[in-house]
Amino acid sequence: MTAPLHSLFRPRSVAVIGAARRRGSISAEVFHNLLERGFQGAVYPVSARSAVVQSVRAYPSVEAIPDDVDLAVLVIPAREVLIAAEACGRKGVRALVVISAGFGETGPEGVALQAELVACAERYGMRVVGPNCLGVLNANPEVRLDATFAPHFPPFGGVAVCSQSGALGLAILDLAKEVGMGVSSFVSIGNRADVSAADLLEYWEHDPDTKVILLYLENLGEPRRFMETARRVSRHKPIALVKSGRTEAGRRAASSHTGALAGLDVAVDAVLGQCGVVRTDTIHELFDVGMLLASQPVPAGPRVAILTNAGGPGIMATDACETRGLAVPPLAEPTRAALREYLPAAASVGNPVDMIASATAEDYERSLRLLLADETIGSVLVLFVTPIVTAALDVARAVTRVAEGSPKPVAACFMGSQGVPEALEHLRQHGVVTYAFPEAAAAALARAARYGVYRERVPALLPPLSVDRSAAQGVLAEQLQEETGARWLSPERVRRLLEAYGIPTPRQAVAHGVDDAVSKAGRVGYPLVFKLVSSTILHKSDVGGVRVGLRDEQELRAAYAELEARLAALGRAGELEGVLLQELVTGGVETFVGATRDEQFGHLVGFGLGGLQVELLRDVVFRAAPVSADDATDMLGAIRGKALLEGFRSGPVVKKAALVELLLRVSQLVEEHPELVELDLNPVIATPTGAIAVDARIRMVR
């Protein structure tokens, strides 16, 4: 049961439970803010001690209030919260903001108390923000709700903010006021007993005041739900996030490659990227990109034009753009010709366009118009250093005249002191975001451009891959019935499972004893690959258990004898359960495909270079399942050794479509069978015509 959040953001009336008279305490500040910011609804103080709070008649309990109450803000000791929450429930309150601390963050008793609070809220259909939070704020002039104890109220604008930490929330509201970032609403979710970041995304998705969503989170809460929601919302509203508290996943008890390779932060990065969430490292960067996306169009591509009146900053900006994945390409010839017509001979019309110190406001206006009209350009960065001749405010006016209504974003960086504060104010009021230094502007543009690339993608409709689910279920049921309950599937079951999901495997046969091997070799065909089968020996090569390219019966018999001798020498003769004969796959690149189940994120699918190189180079990338065709294509391009897939040094050019399809099939296999906790295909040999899994390990849990 989840009631909507409307009463939280747009309550008609608010009760402050625990409102205090004396300014300076948290409860007094919350009540003061509600009164002073111009809240458009009614506010009621509830106080057990005082009949009047800050000149307003107070009530001894929420139930004594004669009118309806939509939202109650609780600022009382933790042990009194439950009783107050019950009273709110009886009163018909729709939402609670519990600012009080002393809950889940304090230990087992607090955890239990928090659970009781949630249970109480559920009984009455109330939503809960917090506990242990800073509160909720809605800056829309028709609402002006400030149920926080923050000292500053931000200007109204298109940025919604969610902060897990209350302290950081205070800092964020301060900074918003300082840099003039317009906020639609703000929520500090604290211990997140009920309302989570995903809930807020859902609300802001349909909130007409909100254009961009900024999140400060220490963890993703319910990652799967967060992912699904973020993926949907980011298609039309950008989401940017700072995630701190990169808790180490700790040593994973994983016996295969995939589990050991996928760390928690890898998962977080992969998941956020897949959902179109822009990740930043600092709050400042979060604001930098948030303000750009809130007031300017999303860049169509990474190509930036730089317009400047000074060479040095132009070069700095160029470097900053290029190192962040933006391009500063030469301008189209017609643009250059048009610029040359009026700019002095000493000016440079390449990119950056350096109009030199004599540039006037009119030059800025004409040039910016030309750059925005250049079809090869996706965004423009305007740099201005105050010389003696030109007034900064005039240039700012010129810039906003052109930028307003432009379908391409303009970012600005005005340096110097003369007249700059007025210019910055003018730019801000007209929605052109300004940055103190070119690097910050470049970083924001680069992040916005990456978001643009994500959003432009046509959501890949996953063609339903045809698989044989009942065959797969049969294999897994057999495995479960086995008395020993071996966790690793036998080679034969692995093959059947992969086959059921259309994952290509080589022709193969399992044999017991040398004569059986010789007689089955005919089915596989020479030259062949010979491998030991053992449920206790996981890495076959380590014990000399793989022989590649046996050409005839004689070589096969010799290999068999050698294997027996080697195991005997190791004292492991009893572990030989049989041998696997396989078709030899030649002319390919060894890659790695794996899946591992993460407790929080569900299955992660990995791709990298295979064989030995997996462990040596750790050149593996991960995405959360379900993997889309776009995700899979991204994965192929994201490994450092991607050149090896494209005919590096006269090597084979592999068929990428086959690898993409194999990744999709693996993703579907683990999605549909959550009991498969580890799957390692290593190597998958990628050739110019296909991709074949020649070695596979699959582990399941009951």
Q: 203 to each of 68, 210, 504, 575, 615, how far by Cα in Å?
A: 23, 10, 44, 59, 44
When asked if residue 255 is in the footprint of ligand ADP (CB under 6 A), the reply is no
Query: CA dist 539 to 132, 257, 498, 531, 584, Å?
Result: 50, 11, 20, 11, 19
**How far is it, in rounded angstroms, from Cα 95 to Cα 15?**
11
Applying CB under 6 A, which part among 86-94, 296-304, 478-486, 581-589 lies near ligand ADP? 581-589
* Binding of ligand ADP by 611 (CB under 6 A): yes
Q: Is 590 in the site for Mg ion (CB under 5 A)?
A: no
Q: CB within 8 A of 522, min separation 6: which ones? A: none
Which of Mg ion, ligand ADP, none has residue 278 at its interface (CB below 5 to 8 Å by kind)? none
- Least Å distance, CB 670 to ligand ADP, is 20
Is residue 690 a contact residue for ligand ADP (CB under 6 A)? Answer: no
Q: How many residues bind ligand ADP (CB under 6 A)?
A: 18
- Shortest reach from residue 698's CB to ligand ADP, in Å: 13
To Mg ion, the closest distance from the beta carbon of 682 in angstroms equals 4
Considering only residues 89, 445, 695, 700, which one is a binding residue for ligand ADP as defined by CB under 6 A? 695
Q: Check residue 534 for interaction with Mg ion (CB under 5 A).
A: no
Q: How far apart are CA 205 and CA 239, in angstroms?
A: 10
CB 372 within 8 A of CB 400: no
Residues that bind Mg ion (rule: CB under 5 A) add up to a total of: 2
Nearer to ligand ADP, 56 or 537 (CB): 537
Instruction: Match 């366009």 to its residue by tokens.
Output: 353
CA 346 to CA 311: how far, in whole Å?
11
State which of residues 594, 632, 682, 685 lies at the interface with Mg ion (CB under 5 A).
682
Stretch that binds ligand ADP, among 126-134, 236-244, 404-412, 584-592 (CB under 6 A): 584-592
Nearer to Mg ion, 531 or 623 (CB): 531
Give the Cα separation of 407 and 495 in Å (integer): 54
548 binding ligand ADP? (CB under 6 A): yes
The single residue listed with the structure tokens 């017991």 is: 512
The pair of three-digit structure tokens given for residue 595, joined into one six-digit string: 């899946």
Shortest distance, position 166 Cβ to Mg ion, whole Å: 50
Nearest approach in angstroms of CB 695 to Mg ion is 4
What is the footprint of ligand ADP within residues 491-520 (CB under 6 A)?
506
What is the pattern of x (binds Mg ion, CB under 5 A) and - over residues 624-663? ----------------------------------------
| DSSP 8-state assignment for residue 23 | B
The smaller minimum CB distance to ligand ADP, of residues 310 and 659, is found at 659
- Would you state the structure tokens that stand for residue 584, as one six-digit string? 């030899």
For ligand ADP, give the closer residue by CB, 365 or 695: 695
Please answer whether residues 608 and 614 qualify as being in contact, where contact means their C-beta atoms are separated by less than 8 angstroms: yes
* Residue 207, both tokens: 């909130």
DSSP letter for 64, please: G
- Only segment of 16-24, 436-444, 460-468, 535-543 that touches ligand ADP (CB under 6 A): 535-543
| H/E stretch holding 590 | strand 589-598
Given 87, 546, 635, 684, the residue binding ligand ADP (CB under 6 A): 546
Q: What share of the chain is helix, strand, coil (3-state, %, to 5)?
A: 40, 20, 35
Identity of the residue, 323 or 586, whose beta carbon is nearer to ligand ADP in the bound complex:
586
Using CB under 5 A as the binding rule, the residues of this chain from 197 to 216 that contact Mg ion are none
Residue 567 makes contact with ligand ADP by CB under 6 A: no
Decide which of Mg ion, ligand ADP, none touches 582; Cβ closer than 5 to 8 Å per partner kind.
ligand ADP
Q: Which stretch binds ligand ADP (CB under 6 A): 207-215, 445-453, 576-584, 622-630?
A: 576-584
Residue 701 one-letter amino acid: V
The site partner of 438 among Mg ion, ligand ADP, none (C-beta below 5 to 8 Å per kind) is none
Q: Which residue reads 């940055």 in tokens?
A: 435
Q: Are 654 and 588 in contact (CB under 8 A)?
A: yes
91 touches, from Mg ion, ligand ADP, none (C-beta below 5 to 8 Å by class): none
- DSSP letter for 172, please: H
Question: C-beta of 508: minimal distance to ligand ADP in Å?
Answer: 8
The enclosing H or E element of 85 equals: helix 78-91
Of residues 295 and 505, the one with the C-beta less far from ligand ADP:
505
Q: Report d(CA 697, CA 680) in Å as an integer.
A: 5
Q: Are strands 578-583 and 508-511 parallel, antiparallel or unpaired?
A: antiparallel
CA distance 412 to 21: 47
Run of H or E residues at 518: helix 514-524
Distance CA 446, CA 448 (A): 5
Asked if residue 695 binds Mg ion (CB under 5 A), the reply is yes
Binding letters toward ligand ADP, positions 665-684, x by CB under 6 A: -----------------xx-
* Residue 582 lies near ligand ADP (rule: CB under 6 A): yes
Contact 679, 609 (CB under 8 A): no
Where along the sequence are the contacts to Mg ion (CB under 5 A)?
682, 695
Where along the sequence are the contacts to ligand ADP (CB under 6 A)?
506, 529, 531, 539-541, 546, 548, 582-585, 590, 611, 682-683, 694-695
